[in-house]
A and B are shown apart, each in its own frame.
Chain A
Amino acid sequence: MAAPITPALLYLDNVTVSFDGFRALNALSLAIDHTEMRAIIGPNGAGKTTMMDVITGKTRPNEGTALFNGSHDLTYLDEAAIAELGIGRKFQTPTVFEMHSVEDNLLLALKQKRSPLATLLSRRTAQERERIDALLERVRLTHQRHRRAGELSHGQKQWLEIGMLLAQQPKLLLIDEPAAGMTDQETADTADLLRDIAKTQAVVVVEHDMTFVRDLGVKVTCLHEGSVLAEGSLDAVSANERVIEVYLGR
């Protein structure tokens, strides 16, 4: 493996994505450190989801560099390879396997060999069971373990999906609107959980809910029209004139 070009865990430089002439990302540059938590805010259409798509290999950028761990070029890898490298993604609407039990959802997410032959011949080990038990405990779904994931409440599904991310043992977690549709208590608990995760792994959170972002208490990046508008503490960003203009001008 070549020597790391950058010390950052995730390094985006000059990334541009255009769809039929519309620039969803416009020379976006961003760096995330190991064990850093970053909140991404921005109005609708600012390019938050497209950015996640580029990082996870769903969308190929027209231009620019996307490096993971200093040496892996994300623009050449597919979703599965990027997931193997250690990037986990939580979708905006909770996406779990509704027909599977809560336990099986976690089982499928556990860091294990992913090839068809390996899964065909795999047997559940005691170690896997312990991992699942620990994860169920962490996302507070121990009592729901045999229920179908489709029967869970919205908030529980969000947590299950976060649990699935943790099961993958990623180095970087991309989390899209974790607080959407949650009660105030659930939102506060989610902030606690994410802060706890960020002690050992890097976390990027996309969020609209400013109370939640304030709760996280981390560095904030504000996107607008596909590039970074402002970066810094939430207070500094929300005091920024252009940010105010963008948010209130609409």
Chain B
Amino acid sequence: MKTQTLLDRQSTVVLSLLTVAAIVVPAMNGLAAPGSALHLSDHLVPLLGKYVCFALLALSVDLIWGFCGILSLGHGAFFALGGYAMGMYLMRQIGPRGVYADPVLPDFMVFLNWKELPWFWHGFEWFPFAALMALIVPGALSFIFGWLAFRSRVTGVYLSIITQAMTFALMLAFFRNDMGFGGNNGLTDFKDILGFPLQSASTRIVLFVLSVVALACGYLLCRWVVNSKFGKVLVAVRDAESRTRFLGYRVEHYKLAVFTLSAMLAGIAGALYVPQVGIINPGEFAPANSIEVVIWVAVGGRGTLAGAILGALLVNAGKTWFTGVLPEFWLFALGGLFVFVTLFMPHGIFGAARDLGKQVSRRLASRRPPESLSQAAE
């Protein structure tokens, strides 16, 4: 089938580019001599790693929005929860090296005069447990949230609004010191991960490569899901929900399954993000963050997976550059970009490129003898 080969080509391109990134970035950082044009300085590696984590987050949003029509404006919450799970592990790794040198309690707890570790902090000193929690906590929250919302058939803009409310509520909760997650300041001052110092160049390179690997696996997983019959049902739900119901599909089960999967992907992205940026605080729950993710996906091209990755990388690179040159205008630029894309590139950069490609091949086809025309037009 024609579309099948097209998609496979897309996967090949995405995976090749990610492989190249996983080789070139470490090489430019480690092998090229400092000062040479090819050298990538140490502080850029975690920055690129951060973009890759954002790309995974964008991918998770595209899976539900692009393929199932669920516009989540609260996906930053799942990302942040995954980040907090990792942050708690990193906090426990600090041990007696903290400012107050308490062997068990993180600094902020000593500061708040707490005498013992809250129950929910137990187990996080163990990496596999923390890693599992980075998956389970976002997964469980999205499952409960989705179960309530989809069962009551909350859809469209109403669903988007309650996802915003969810992330906003979590932000307010995490701001409180009593929650036990460091309040306003969040979790920071991390020292090492699995015994490797976080500040060292080699750890950062490994984290970058792991993020790229996670993105590639996430991409393949999403591709597999959307290419399966399950994925066809998702698109059916997106385009004609009640028709799908009358065919005998339990739409709410499908939405719940894909929403939970997506939240877990976001959680992984958050868990990889935190060791690279060195901090997690309640600001990550800010509603604006989640909206920004949706803009990345829209800019790149909704419902294409590769477009989400592209959008996240481009917009974030643009943000880094813009906030360096004209920091006060960044939000205007972002808003303008969103309006421009919505009006002139409804399928995003990826869709625009695809349409252009089609036009070119049609032009070429019109020069050929007529019998090949019908094939090319298809």
Query: A residues within 8 Å of B by Cβ?
Result: 56, 58, 78-80, 83-84, 88-89, 91, 95-101, 104, 107-109, 114-116, 119-122, 146, 164, 168
Residue B195 interfacial (CB < 8 Å): no
**B247–A109 contact, CB under 8 A?**
yes
Chain A residues lying within 8 Å of B257, measured Cβ to Cβ, are 116
The docked-state distance in angstroms from the alpha carbon of A121 to that of B257 is 14
User: Of A83, A98, A100, which one neighbours B247 at CB under 8 angstroms?
Assistant: A83
CB distance from A240 to the nearest CB of B (A): 33
Name 6 interchain pairs, CB-CB below 8 A, sorted by A.
A80-B249, A96-B243, A104-B232, A108-B232, A119-B228, A120-B230
Chain B: CB-nearest residue to A98: B239
Listed from nearest, the 8 A-B pairs whose CB atoms lie closest are: A83-B248, A120-B230, A79-B245, A119-B229, A119-B230, A116-B257, A95-B243, A80-B250
Residue B254 interfacial (CB < 8 Å): yes
The docked-state distance in angstroms from the alpha carbon of A122 to that of B1 is 18
**B229–A107 contact, CB under 8 A?**
yes
CB distance from B39 to the nearest CB of A (A): 46
Query: SS class of chain B's interface: helix, strand, loop or mixed?
Result: helix
Query: B residues within 8 Å of A by Cβ?
Result: 1-3, 225, 228-230, 232-233, 235-236, 239-240, 242-251, 253-254, 257, 378
CB distance from A33 to the nearest CB of B (A): 23
Chain A residues lying within 8 Å of B378, measured Cβ to Cβ, are 146
User: Of A80, A107, A109, A121, which one neighbours B245 at CB under 8 angstroms?
Assistant: A80
User: Of B225, B240, B243, B248, which one neighbours A80 at CB under 8 angstroms?
Assistant: B248
Q: How many A-B residue pairs have CB under 8 A?
A: 78
CB distance from B115 to the nearest CB of A (A): 47
**B239–A83 contact, CB under 8 A?**
no
User: Of B2, B228, B251, B253, which one neighbours A122 at CB under 8 angstroms?
Assistant: B228
User: Of A56, A119, A146, which one neighbours B246 at CB under 8 angstroms?
Assistant: A56
**B246–A89 contact, CB under 8 A?**
yes
Q: A98-B239, A99-B239, A100-B236 are in contact. Are A168 and B248 (CB under 8 A)?
A: yes
CB distance from A52 to the nearest CB of B (A): 10
User: Of A58, A83, A107, A114, which one neighbours B232 at CB under 8 angstroms?
Assistant: A107
**A114–B250 contact, CB under 8 A?**
yes
The docked-state distance in angstroms from the alpha carbon of A115 to that of B250 is 7
The docked-state distance in angstroms from the alpha carbon of A146 to that of B1 is 8
Chain B residues lying within 8 Å of A88, measured Cβ to Cβ, are 246
**A97–B228 contact, CB under 8 A?**
no
The docked-state distance in angstroms from the alpha carbon of A79 to that of B241 is 12
CB distance from B277 to the nearest CB of A (A): 34
**A146–B2 contact, CB under 8 A?**
yes
Chain A residues lying within 8 Å of B245, measured Cβ to Cβ, are 78-80, 83
Chain B residues lying within 8 Å of A83, measured Cβ to Cβ, are 245-248
Chain A: CB-nearest residue to B254: A116
User: Of B232, B244, B253, which one neighbours A115 at CB under 8 angstroms?
Assistant: B253
Chain B residues lying within 8 Å of A58, measured Cβ to Cβ, are 242
**B233–A108 contact, CB under 8 A?**
yes
CB distance from A244 to the nearest CB of B (A): 35
User: Of B3, B225, B239, B249, which one neighbours A114 at CB under 8 angstroms?
Assistant: B249
The docked-state distance in angstroms from the alpha carbon of A180 to that of B181 is 62
The docked-state distance in angstroms from the alpha carbon of A121 to that of B231 is 11
